[in-house]
Amino acid sequence: MPPALEEIEQLNCVKLLGVLFQDNLKMDCHVQYILSQCAQRMHLLKLLQHQGMPLIKLRVVVYSLIVSRI
């Protein structure tokens, strides 16, 4: 790595166009982020189902959270 400049902050991970890039060109940071997003969305769906949301409305939520973001 080049020496750090006082005026510029150096980051290990940066998000560009929805993809997380690391300074060592590995994908660990991006994969961890995607898994975290999936876990949060699955938790939300389970909560909605547990609270009695009808299946037809759950499908709308699934579509808006998962399918439309691809």
> What confidence tens digit (pLDDT) does each residue in 56-65 have?
999 999 888 8
Of residues 30, 13, 11, 10, the one with CA closest to residue 22: 13
Of residues 47, 50, 44, the one with CA closest to residue 64: 44
> What confidence tens digit (pLDDT) does each residue in 29-50 have?
999 999 998 899 999 999 999 9
Q: What is the band of 9 on the pLDDT scale with cuts at 50, 70, 90?
A: confident
The pLDDT of residue 69 is above 80: no
Task: Give dist(CA 22, CA 32) in Å, integer.
Answer: 12
pTM for the whole structure? 0.70
8 A C-beta contact, residue 40 and residue 32: no
Q: What is the band of 7 on the pLDDT scale with cuts at 50, 70, 90?
A: confident
Q: Domain residues of the chain, as ranges?
A: 13-69
